[in-house]
Chains A and B, each alone.
Chain A
Amino acid sequence: MNNYKLITKQNLHSFFDALQPKNTIIAPKEINKKYYFKPVDKFEDIALDYIQTVLSAKSVLFPRSDTLFNYHRADGDYNIDEPSPIEKNTIVFGMKPCDASSFVYLSNFFLKDYQDKNIKERLEKLYIISLSCKEADNACFCTSVGSNPASTKGSDLNLTLIENDTYYVEVVTEKGQELINYSADLFQDTKEIDKSKYIANVPQKFDVEQAKQNIDSIFESPLWVKDSLACLGCGICAYACPTCTCFDIQDIGSQFNGSRVRNWDSCAFDLFTKHASGHNPRPVQSQRWRNRIKHKFEYSVENLGLISCVGCGRCIRSCPTSMNIVKTVQIFQGV
């Protein structure tokens, strides 16, 4: 439905003030020179010129710990109540286009076969205002996985800073229009423009189709071991990643009272694949790293028709041992 508008930075502030009272707004905030998505209630608190946050915004949809239901036993029977997963409409303000596109993957993952109730309700109330990238760093590689720094995929509104403190606004969905309607007179209509000169240059780092042929076909190879010797099997890459969706279901409480909770999990952990017998089909780290890469570029394409990496570079920036998914894909492209 794309239509095009302009808004000044000052009016963007007023737009925020119009949205704020009725919605929960999550936006990037600076904490000790790093950026994190946090609830904000003042426009000034939003970081508009960040490159990328440490953790993704997936927790808006898929929280670190998500209560599925509470149970308690009374009079010989169990009572179950399902807490409402989301109260107010939630707007993520200023996420990057790579992150916005991760929500396309997330909604496919959680709704395609089985419709996850919590995720579905949250998605219905979720609005995404993305911000095209002015700047990128050398961990960014969206252009290698089919996106670009001004992509509107997954966004409801997309903002691109053009000259003179003015943002070019693309209204991508009905939901985007709904947001505009909060204060439509702050926007000015315009024609479609070519955004490419206003955005970061992100060089393409690999040819994903070519690399995929080898990633798909090579399972047993010393390359997997050689490339992952540094990996120590923590959960940072999976937990920072906007498209990692693995979880672990736990009952917290006693047999009388408690909650069933869905927590993040990571394929880098030893326990992740351990069977009840004690046998672990992926006993060493190289097999876990292989699973991560194959899941992103092979398994999720088989299952959902989508690569589950949007090129945000978080895993590269945050890995304590400087493991680099781009390097791995390049190695496999070159085999």
Chain B
Amino acid sequence: MTELQNIAKKLFDDGSINLLIGYSNNENGGTSAIFIDNSADIDKLIYNENCHQNLMVYFQKPEVKKFGKLAFVVSLPGLKSVLEIASENQIKDGDAYFIAIDKDGNPSLLQDFHQIEDFITNNQTKPPMGLLKLMEKINNMTREERWQYWTDEFSKCIKCYACRSVCPLCYCTQCITDINIPQWISTESSPIGNLDWHIARAMHLAGRCIGCGECMKACPVDIPLALLTANLNKSIAIHFGDEPGMKADYKYPLSHYKLEDKENFIR
């Protein structure tokens, strides 16, 4: 048994959990989420560099929640999502167990938000080079070029909403796309219709996105979506000095008022 499997088995044996969400090999030579509800299946649990889905998205799925007490196998992005949803009052300390995988691939059981905060501080990684280069390229464009760049990218969007479905922070029980009286986000895929959607998505994640990149990985037409939220995060960090997913008591700048805020129109 691997160390990961040992930790998982112990959680089942002492009755701490009803369901463990981790990774296993799948039929197509890749890895995918596995939902283990008894310790007999634990030998299927694996972790390697191909395990990249951010499993925290399942924390809010009703049919998963129904199982009761949950444990998750999570690496850095998953743990950042835990702190972010904690700061949004979606999860309390002790609501779930986290088997954290550190940057060397070693598992350890994290019990509370403090441990998660320390883990994150000790396991920081840099965003992929390709992404940083593209961000720099876009930021060096003129306003018109940038508009054209995103208009072209959005024109490819088929509005499958996978970018929303896979996001651990898109947990609204009713997404704005699921409301049709009135139809806030038009269902057609057209330049204007797609813009509706992408402005809504980016703004709802501004300063909340923890940068796991799930949206971008899921997008069937390869729109570099994570850049939009990353850039918005950057502006928020410059103006308010805050970064999501680092502390469980993060005060989301767009919904918290501080006396020392630069803007004074609200005083």
Contact = CB atoms under 8 A, between A and B. Distances in A.
Interface size class of A (residues with CB under 8 A): 35 or more
A266 interface: yes
A34 B222 CA distance: 9
B161 A64 contact: no
B132 interface: no
A109 to B, nearest CB: 20
A265 B222 contact: no
B165 interface: yes
Interface in A27-85: 31-32, 34, 36, 54-55, 64-65
Given A229-B63, A234-B218, A239-B160, A320 B166 contact: yes
Interface residues of B, number: 42
B188 A263 contact: yes
Contacts of B187: 248, 250, 263, 265
Given A229-B63, A236-B218, A284-B63, A261 B162 contact: no
B162 A320 contact: yes
B220 A240 contact: yes
Contacts of A2: none
B64 A233 contact: no
Contacts of A320: 53, 162, 165-166, 214, 217-218
B29 interface: yes
Interface stretch (A93-101, A163-171, A293-301, A321-329): A321-329
A-B interface, 5 closest residue pairs, ranked by CB to CB distance from nearest: A322-B32, A234-B162, A235-B160, A320-B218, A234-B165
Contacts of B39: none
Nearest to A285: B63
Contact of B164 (A36, A230, A234): A234
Given A65-B190, A326-B27, A230 B160 contact: no
B162 A322 contact: no
15 contacts: A54-B221, A55-B158, A64-B189, A138-B28, A226-B35, A229-B63, A232-B61, A234-B166, A234-B218, A236-B162, A271-B179, A320-B53, A320-B166, A321-B53, A327-B27
Interface in A227-265: 228-230, 232-236, 239-240, 248, 250, 252, 261, 263-265
Given A232-B61, A232-B166, A239 B28 contact: no
Nearest to B170: A232
A231 to B, nearest CB: 9
Given A235-B159, A248-B187, A321 B166 contact: yes
B183 interface: yes
Interface in B152-185: 158-162, 164-166, 174, 177-180, 183
